[in-house]
């Protein structure tokens, strides 16, 4: 953009839409932004691109980006102020914790289902969990990546 | 969605000799980019001309900003920046004098923007329109439309003959124009890449038939190609086309519905793929041809 009227630069958020994903585009935007916010990669107060600018970057329509922003605003992750644009909201620690916990629950559930598919018993699954815990804890103590 | 429509057409028809456009029924509200797409001779420029009262519909009701032609012509046109397919009477005028001429008519004329656009397109203000190459003439005509400070831009093939760099600039300018959320752009194009890049809605016209006004993302999300291990039986909802073979190839316009119906019949989806907008258009054209004459157009609301 060679224009002098260019908007002040905003952080480019690495969002990505996939047409192979059965989730509709606005849901993909929502979940990716939610993840960035919950993981702290987008801090409270960070300005988000306008709906039009985001639509242009993602090659989707403003109808889609508006849907995503409205949902995220409804869930309290972002807020829009007249003339101020859209920023990441301050999120209560309990909410953050609940979401983190939910992510772990999901991963655990997936691991258990994988075990069932492999024909493992409850006993064997418990053993694996125990072994994994010990191994990972040892890893952390040695300064390795958890 | 609230507020009155920027554009509203009810049962609008126009015919010349063998060519018949319409009936067109649609409403467009502020804040959207609408691409008008279809083969040559489909009626794109006729539609644009009617929106500017350069061509009068034979019947139907056409409103811009709630007003009608000819009563509200001046009031309407002060709010519309128009880029015609072939600008008339520009050739002998310089970029500078064209700007001055336009500025007298448009109260919100933005001279700084005009100068900026000329500079970026490397157009010397003293050069006559007729001396410029086709592509540069397009850029100048676009600058004139944008600098009017209008709420609505009607752009008839704004990038035809423009080089890739200039084309990109035009698309950037359109999206900057849309930034504040209450502006509207209707542009005719042959370039699907532009539709993919900036359109919110797609209006399909073919052989004068209005095939509908669609949300672009819905088209991209809902239309799918499924390769399946066997042909489904009976009427499967959403199926637009079936090619026999193994695997058979199904085109559908509602991902969930068709997917569930196939699942219920125990038809296995071997692979699935996305359709591009050209393919969607050609299916819509075929569907329309196959349908009864009695269908009297389609009503859409944006």
Whole-number pLDDT of residue B230: 85
**Contact criterion met (CB < 8 Å) for A25 and B274:** no
Q: Do B207 and B99 belong to one domain?
A: yes
Total domains in chain B come to 2
Same structural domain for residues B107 and B133?
yes
Share of chain B above pLDDT 90, in %: 63
* B235 and B174 share one domain: no
Of B150, B185, B215, which marks where a domain is finished? B215
In a domain, A31, yes or no: yes
Q: Which range marks the domain in which residue A111 is found?
A: 93-141
Q: What is the 3-state secondary structure (H, E, C) of chain B?
A: CCCCCCEEEEEEEEEECCEEEEEEEEEECCCCEEEEECCCCCCHHHHHHHHCCCCCCCEEEEEECCECCCCCHHHHHCCEEEECCCCCCCCCCEHHHHHHHHHHHCCCCCHHHHHHHHHHCCCCCCCEHHHCCHHHHHHHHHHHHHHCCCCEEEEECCCCCCCHHHHHHHHHHHHHHHCCCCCEEEEEECCHHHHHHHCCEEEEEECCEEEEEEEHHHHHHHCEEEEECCCCCCCCCCEEEEECCCCEEEEECCHHHHHHHHHHCCCCEEEEEECCHHHHHHHHHHHHHHCCCCCCCCEEEC
Query: Do residues B193 and B110 both lie within one domain?
Result: yes
pLDDT at B2: 44
**Structural domain ending residue among the three candidates B164, B184, B215:** B215
Q: Are residues B107 and B156 in the same domain?
A: yes
Q: What pLDDT score was predicted for residue A146?
A: 46
Residue B291 has a pLDDT of 64
What CATH number corresponds to the domain at position B30? 3.40.50.300
Residue A137 lies in a domain: yes
In this structure, are B228 and B161 located in the same domain? no
pLDDT tens profile B144-165: 999 999 999 999 999 999 999 9
Q: Is residue B298 part of a domain?
A: no
Q: Give chain B's contact residues with A (Cβ, < 8 Å).
A: 31-33, 113, 116, 120, 172, 175-176, 178-179, 181, 196-201, 215-217, 220-221, 255, 274
Residue B285, in any domain of the structure: yes
Domain-located, residue A57: yes
pLDDT at B3: 57
Residues B78 and B44 in one domain: yes
Inspect the interface and report whether the beta carbons of B120 and A2 lie closer than 8 Å.
yes
Q: What is the pLDDT along chain B (302 residues), one digit of tens a residue?
A: 445 799 999 999 999 888 999 899 999 999 999 999 998 888 999 999 999 999 999 999 999 999 999 999 999 999 999 999 888 888 889 999 999 999 999 999 999 999 999 999 999 999 999 999 999 999 999 999 999 999 999 999 999 999 999 999 999 999 999 998 899 999 999 899 999 999 999 999 988 999 999 999 999 989 999 998 888 888 888 888 888 887 889 899 988 889 888 888 888 888 888 898 889 988 988 887 776 444 444 444 45
Query: Residue B149 sits in which domain range?
Result: 7-215
| Closest CB from B113, B179, B196 relative to A52 | B179
What distance in Å separates residue B117's CA from the closest CA in chain A? 9
**B128 and B72, same domain (yes or no):** yes
Last residue of a domain, one of A68, A88, A108: A88
Does ipTM come in above 0.90? no
Residue B236 is predicted with a pLDDT of: 86
Q: Please identify, among A88, A117, A132, the residue that sits at the C-terminal boundary of a domain.
A: A88
């Amino acid at each position: 953009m060679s224009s002098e009227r260019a908007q002040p630069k905003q952080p480019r958020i690495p969002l990505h839409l996939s047409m192979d994903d059965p989730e509709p585009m606005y849901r993909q935007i929502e979940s990716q932004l939610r993840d960035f916010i919950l993981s702290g990669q987008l801090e409270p107060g960070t300005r988000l691109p306008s709906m039009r600018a985001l639509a242009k970057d993602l090659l989707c329509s403003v109808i889609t980006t508006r849907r995503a922003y409205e949902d995220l605003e409804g869930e309290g992750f972002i807020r829009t102020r007249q003339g101020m644009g859209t920023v990441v909201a301050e999120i209560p620690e309990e909410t953050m914790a609940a979401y983190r916990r939910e992510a772990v629950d999901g991963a655990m559930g997936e691991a258990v289902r994988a075990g069932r598919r492999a024909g493992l018993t409850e006993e064997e699954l418990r053993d694996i969990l125990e072994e994994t815990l010990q191994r990972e804890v040892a890893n952390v103590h040695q300064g390795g990546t958890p | 969605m609230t507020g009155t429509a920027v554009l509203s057409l009810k049962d609008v028809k126009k015919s010349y000799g063998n060519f018949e456009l319409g009936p067109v029924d649609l409403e467009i509200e502020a804040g959207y980019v609408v691409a008008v797409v279809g083969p040559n001779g489909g009626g794109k420029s006729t539609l644009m001309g009617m929106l500017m009262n350069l061509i009068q519909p034979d019947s139907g009701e056409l409103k811009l900003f709630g007003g009608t032609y000819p009563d509200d012509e001046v009031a309407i046109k002060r709010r519309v920046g128009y880029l015609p397919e072939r600008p008339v009477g520009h050739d002998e005028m310089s970029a500078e004098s064209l700007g001055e001429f336009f500025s007298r008519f448009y109260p919100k004329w933005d001279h700084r923007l005009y100068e900026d656009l000329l500079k970026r397109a490397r157009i010397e203000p003293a050069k006559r329109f007729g001396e410029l190459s086709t592509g540069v003439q397009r850029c100048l005509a676009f600058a004139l439309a944008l600098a009017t400070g209008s709420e609505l831009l009607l752009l008839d093939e704004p990038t035809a003959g423009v080089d890739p760099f200039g084309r990109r600039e035009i698309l950037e300018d359109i999206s900057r124009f849309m930034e504040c959320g209450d502006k509207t752009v209707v542009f005719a194009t042959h370039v699907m890449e532009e539709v993919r890049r900036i359109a919110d809605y797609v209006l399909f016209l073919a052989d004068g038939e209005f095939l509908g006004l669609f949300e672009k993302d819905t088209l991209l999300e809902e239309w799918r190609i499924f390769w399946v291990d066997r042909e489904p039986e009976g009427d499967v909802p959403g199926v637009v086309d079936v090619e026999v073979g193994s695997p058979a190839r199904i085109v559908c316009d509602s991902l969930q519905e068709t997917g569930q119906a196939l699942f219920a019949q125990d038809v296995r989806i071997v692979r699935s793929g996305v359709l591009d907008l050209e393919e969607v258009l050609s299916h819509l054209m075929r569907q329309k041809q196959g349908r009864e004459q009695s269908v009297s157009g389609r009503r859409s609301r944006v």
